Amino acid sequence: MAIDPFKNMFKHLESPADRFFNITPESDGGPALDTVTRAIYVGTGGNITLQSKAGDKVTINNVQDGSILPIRVYKVIDSDTTATDIIGLY
């Protein structure tokens, strides 16, 4: 199960992230990330399919190179993800 260091914090986190890790997209049935992110950095743009801890899935299309998406991610799903160089921030 993914560690969620922000589950009891306010929704408006204003301090910058101070930890990070590389994200490798996994199959839909594959493992979750070790830690739920507070944001993700997308180095090389494209489409990215994400899953929240609650199980919601969404594909964000046309993410630009160098984007920081301030979203809490539980899993990045590989089947529809074309973006690469993804880093989890927390």
Q: Is residue 33, in this structure, part of any structural domain at all?
A: yes
Domain count, the chain: 1
| 31-90 residue pLDDT tens | 999 999 999 999 999 999 999 988 999 999 999 999 999 999 999 999 889 999 999 999
3-state secondary structure of 79: helix
- Rounded to whole angstroms, the Cα distance separating 41 from 86 reads 6
Q: Which two three-digit tokens encode residue 60?
A: 């964000």
Q: Please compute the mean of the pLDDT values over residues 4-24 and round it to a whole number.
A: 77
| Spacing of C-alpha 59 from chain mean position | 12
Indicate the pTM of the whole model: 0.83
- How would you classify residue 18: left for phi > 0, otherwise alpha for psi between -120 and 50, otherwise beta? alpha
Q: Is residue 2, in this structure, part of any structural domain at all?
A: no
Determine the structural domain holding residue 25 and report its residue range: 20-89
Q: Is residue 15, in this structure, part of any structural domain at all?
A: no
